[in-house]
């Protein structure tokens, strides 16, 4: 006899089999504004592929069957290999095949940086761990381009859209991945406290051996890493450390263990020791910190775009679910309080899109004081705010699903676990705010150029003018007091930038609602604690995700 105690009703799976690009009006419009319409057909196809149930299944498997470290082969030889589930390789090949890693550097079409951001943003909605090696590889390209010998040897492999997972010396690979090794136990974000020592080999002007450790080394199966180490003169320098020596032997970078992380589980992060590992000096000795800062400028932009993608996925999943699930006799989407939550999320999503795409354009048009200010001042501010907010907002979208959101069998829990990594990696919140303050103190004209540019998008709105004046007043504070206000300043700067960009580019109902809510002194304490009585809620939600 088959027992049936109940009938399953009012239960709905998470959204799949939809086109991430076609359903995202703010993204499509931003791509067109950037002059990147030529890329739209590619991303329409990519959005369809990413939205397939099969792709979501790959993402689930890659995070369920996590990387495994194999230290030795069957005969006891040290191999330090990290083995991945086939789903990881499928996702890595999918991203690389779009040409997104090299797009900003290999493509000369207008809007290439905005196009890259669109592809990165969509991929991160489905699986974010695979974007870690992609981010580091892309950020390494402009640094390696300044090293003629390295660039000549690896240009084709770095720019290749082919995916080659084989563990072989550099010269034998069709394409390569570049990782990073900066952090040590005693220093964390304070890279100047690093103790790893680089010693000249005497065999070549730029050849060194490295001895020391890295507390976070991502990702260990990359074909090479950019590593910070001290030289005998005492200054931090940057080194290119390949996985294999030029003679074909394994470079002695020994993986001690893989990190057991809260999220980012598909990707491997490790602890390593350098036992006189081969390295090539990049740039001048003692100039490692400026090299790191330049690389971090790119990786921080990726963090902004990646976190925006997580917020977008949480919003879309929440909206799709709320339009089907009933509670207390009505659809969730028709419940007034749920509508307030969804509206708040939708406004944040659109504000993230206009900000990340404007930032991406600054990286392409880095040819004026205004664009340099967007890149240098706004990047760390946006990294602080967007990544920090993603931690809260993914928790809020998970709650829309109730208990169904708090399980591993689905997207929502993975988003929630994944979100903190972008807030922490490449500089935590305080480090980002201090970087904003440092950039302003060193180049006050850059801050003024940025604030003057924002003023062009205010449309005469008195509230935005007052917010800008508030930032100017804060800048008059003594340095030690302004440092303590770092988070407050960065938050207000980003909100003003988002508001001005929406005022310039978004439908009036979206821009008006964002300004009205974000400049409310009570806004932000809890998602959804906004007054929706005068907002065009239906129009905002329909624009966020048609349904």
Among residues 194, 282, 278, the alpha carbon closest in space to that of 238 is found at: 282
CATH class, domain 177-285, is: mainly beta
Structure letter (DSSP) for residue 378: I
Q: Say what the pLDDT of residue 417 is.
A: 97
What separation in angstroms does the CA of 411 have from each of 1, 318, 346, 418? 36, 11, 18, 11
Q: Say what the pLDDT of residue 235 is.
A: 84
Q: Say what the pLDDT of residue 1 is.
A: 67
Q: Say what the pLDDT of residue 202 is.
A: 85
Q: Say what the pLDDT of residue 480 is.
A: 84
Q: Say what the pLDDT of residue 189 is.
A: 77
Residues whose CB is less than 8 angstroms from the CB of residue 527 and which lie 6 or more positions away in sequence, other chains included = 341, 344, 345, 392, 393, 396
Q: Are 293 and 355 in contact (CB under 8 A)?
A: no
| Residue-range domain boundaries for the chain | 25-159, 177-285, 290-544
CATH architecture designation of domain 290-544 = Up-down Bundle (1.20)
What's the predicted TM-score (pTM) here? 0.96
Q: Say what the pLDDT of residue 24 is.
A: 98
Among residues 544, 535, 435, the alpha carbon closest in space to that of 486 is found at: 435
Q: Say what the pLDDT of residue 96 is.
A: 98
Q: Say what the pLDDT of residue 524 is.
A: 85
Question: Average pLDDT per run of 10 along the chain, which is 547 residues long?
Answer: 87 96 98 97 98 98 97 95 98 98 94 98 98 97 95 97 97 97 86 91 91 95 96 89 96 97 96 97 90 90 98 98 96 97 98 98 91 96 98 97 92 96 93 94 92 93 96 91 93 98 97 96 91 96 96
What separation in angstroms does the CA of 514 have from each of 462, 497, 502, 506, 536? 15, 12, 8, 10, 11
- Radius of gyration, CA atoms only, the chain: 24
Q: Say what the pLDDT of residue 259 is.
A: 96
């Amino acid at each position: 006899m088959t027992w049936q105690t109940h009938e399953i009703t009012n239960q709905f799976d998470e959204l799949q089999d939809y086109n991430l690009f076609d359903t995202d009006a703010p993204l499509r419009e931003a791509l067109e504004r950037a002059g990147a319409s030529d890329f739209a057909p590619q991303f329409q196809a990519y959005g369809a592929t990413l939205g397939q149930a099969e792709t979501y299944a790959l993402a689930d498997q890659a995070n369920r069957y996590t990387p495994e470290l194999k230290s030795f082969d069957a005969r006891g030889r040290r191999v330090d290999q990290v083995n991945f589930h086939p789903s990881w390789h499928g996702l890595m090949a999918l991203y690389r095949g779009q040409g997104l890693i090299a797009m900003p550097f290999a493509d000369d079409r207008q809007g290439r940086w905005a196009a890259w951001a669109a592809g990165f943003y969509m991929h991160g909605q489905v699986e974010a761990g695979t974007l870690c090696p992609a981010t580091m590889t892309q950020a390494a390209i402009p640094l390696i381009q300044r090293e003629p010998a390295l660039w000549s040897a690896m240009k084709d492999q770095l720019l290749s859209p082919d995916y080659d997972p084989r563990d072989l010396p550099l010269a034998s690979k069709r394409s390569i991945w570049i990782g990073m090794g900066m952090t040590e136990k005693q220093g964390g974000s304070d890279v100047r406290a690093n103790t790893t020592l680089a010693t000249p080999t005497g065999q070549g002007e730029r050849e060194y051996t490295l001895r020391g450790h890295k507390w976070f080394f991502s990702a260990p199966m990359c074909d090479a890493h950019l590593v910070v180490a001290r030289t005998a003169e005492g200054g931090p320098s940057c080194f290119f450390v390949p996985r294999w020596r030029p003679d074909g032997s394994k470079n002695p970078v020994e993986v001690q263990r893989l990190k057991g992380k809260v999220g980012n589980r598909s990707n491997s992060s490790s602890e390593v020791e350098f036992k006189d590992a081969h390295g090539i000096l990049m740039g001048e000795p003692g100039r490692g910190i400026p090299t790191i800062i330049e690389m971090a400028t790119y990786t921080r932009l990726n963090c902004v775009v990646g976190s925006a993608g997580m917020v977008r996925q949480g919003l879309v999943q929440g909206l799709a679910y709320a339009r089907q699930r009933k509670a207390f006799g009505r659809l969730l989407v028709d419940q007034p309080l749920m509508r307030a939550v969804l509206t708040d999320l939708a406004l944040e999503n659109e504000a993230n899109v206009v900000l990340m795409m404007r930032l991406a354009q600054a990286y392409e048009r880095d040819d004026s004081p205004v664009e340099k200010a967007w890149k240098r001042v706004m990047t760390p501010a946006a990294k602080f705010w967007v990544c920090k907010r993603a931690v809260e907002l993914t928790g809020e979208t998970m709650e829309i699903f109730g208990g169904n959101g708090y399980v591993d069998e689905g997207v929502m829990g993975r988003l929630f676990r994944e979100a903190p990594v972008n807030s922490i990696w490449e500089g935590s919140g305080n480090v980002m705010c201090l970087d904003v303050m440092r950039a302003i103190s060193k180049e006050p004209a850059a801050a003024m150029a940025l604030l003057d540019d924002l003023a062009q998008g205010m449309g005469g709105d008195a509230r935005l003018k007052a917010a800008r004046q508030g930032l100017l007043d804060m800048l008059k504070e003594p340095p030690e007091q302004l440092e303590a206000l770092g988070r407050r300043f960065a938050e207000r700067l980003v909100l003003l930038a988002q508001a001005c960009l929406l005022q310039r580019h978004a439908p009036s109902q979206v821009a008006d609602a964002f300004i009205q809510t974000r400049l409310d002194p009570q806004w932000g304490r809890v998602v959804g604690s906004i007054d929706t009585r005068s907002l065009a809620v239906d129009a905002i939600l329909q624009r966020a995700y048609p349904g």
